[in-house]
Every structure is written in C-alpha cells, then in structure tokens.
Amino acid sequence: DAGVTQSPTHLIKTRGQQVTLRCSPKSGHDTVSWYQQALGQGPQFIFQYYEEEERQRGNFPDRFSGHQFPNYSSELNVNALLLGDSALYLCASSPETLYGYTFGSGTRLTVV
Amino acid sequence: GEDVEQSLFLSVREGDSSVINCTYTDSSSTYLYWYKQEPGAGLQLLTYIFSNMDMKQDQRLTVLLNKKDKHLSLRIADTQTGDSAIYFCAERESGGGADGLTFGKGTHLIIQP
C-alpha cells in the first residue's frame, strides 16, 4: 500500500517564478494538508483540502494556493517566489475521521 | 495563539531511556502527537494521545499528558542508535473534522555509544 507520494522531490526556481507541487494521498484518505518546513524549524500549516475545497488555512499569503482533484490528489501553487519560500514542503493525508496524519517525504524547493 | 515549545537537543547513552518534553498553550487541544523525522525524510507518526487520557504506552514508547500544566512527554525505553532523529510534538485544536497541526521546533535526540 503506497503511502503519501509527492513530486518532484527536489526543485530549483528563480525569484519571481511560479511553482506547482503535487501530492497523492494514501489510499482511503480524502483530506490533504500542506505544510512548509524551513530549515531548523517545525512544519507550519499552509492549508487543508477536503471535498475539493479549502477547508482551513494557516497564516500564509495569497501567493500560496491549492487545488484538490476528484481522486483526492492535490496541488500546491506558489506564485511570485521569494528567497524565503525555500523550504521542504510536506503533504499530509488523513481519513475524515482523524487519528493521525500520514506525511509524504516532501519536496525540497530552493529559490535562487 | 497556539504555541508548542520543546527543548532543541537531548543527548542520551545507548540503552538508557530518553524523555522528550513538550509544552503547549492551546487549552482546546484535543489530540497531541509525536512525530519522528530522520535526515532528509518526511515525518513519521510515532504515537498520539487524546486530551482525556493521562498515559499511553506502545511498545518502547510511553506518552504522559499533564493537561493541567499543558505538558506532554515522550519516553523511549532502551534507546538505540536508530532512534537518533528529530522528534516533533504537535497539537490539534478541537474544531470538528480534520484540522491543521501546530508543531514545535523539534528536539534533536543524540545517542552516545
């Protein structure tokens, strides 16, 4: 049983560019959350998707947007990249009745 | 606002017990989690505890919750070299459905031979 899969694993972008990160949740999970983990920090909640809608959002600007597809997979889009957006982006999935989130291995984004 | 605090480092000898501590501020937290992160990897859920519980044991792991003091601890018995990692405490606020987690900055567990 595949867990949460994320692509790509690594990415280098230039300031001002746009990026799309992808996530496939664990089988049986319908809720997807995205987190940003800067170096030496704990993950910070960006937003959560359920039934193809953003259900909850953390303290991130509108440059961060997302989407969830009917098959529960999700994308995270970041526009107008800043150097400070360099981080590990983690996707987590969970069933609606929650006991714990399953995390993917993340996408390492470097903005130069 | 929500805040989760952890010590940054813990060093223990192989075979000893490790105790990693965490404090949180959100009184409405209903679920508290411990995650493990190895270098270059994502987060692995180790265990969780509901806020109406005081203790939970799972093989080598024991979680203690003092709700009055908002203090959570993770004890790892017979610590092995494979336990070397960063351990994150996280809380989830009660709100119905699945909500975002608030994480601490993580505790680096260092194992001495």
d(CA B67, CA A76) in angstroms, rounded, equals: 36
Strand order across the beta sheet in which A5-7 lies: A5-7, A19-24, A74-78, A64-68
Write out pLDDT tens, residues B6-17. 999 999 999 999
d(CA A110, CA B104) in angstroms, rounded, equals: 23
Q: Where are the alpha helices (DSSP H) in A1-112?
A: none
Among chain A residues, the shortest Cα distance to B100 is held by A45
d(CA A29, CA A58) in angstroms, rounded, equals: 21
Mean local confidence (pLDDT), B65-88: 95
Q: Please report which confidence band the pLDDT of residue B25 belongs to, taking 50, 70 and 90 as the band edges.
A: confident
Q: How many CB atoms lie within 10 A of CB A28?
A: 10
Question: Does B103 contact A44 at a Cβ distance shorter than 8 Å?
Answer: yes
Write out pLDDT tens, residues A13-64. 999 999 999 999 999 899 999 999 999 999 999 999 999 999 889 999 999 9
CA distance A85 to chain B (A): 18
Question: Does A103 contact B97 at a Cβ distance shorter than 8 Å?
Answer: no
Q: Which chain A residues touch B51 with a CB distance below 8 Å?
A: none
Among chain A residues, the shortest Cα distance to B99 is held by A56
Q: Which chain A residues touch B99 with a CB distance below 8 Å?
A: 48, 56
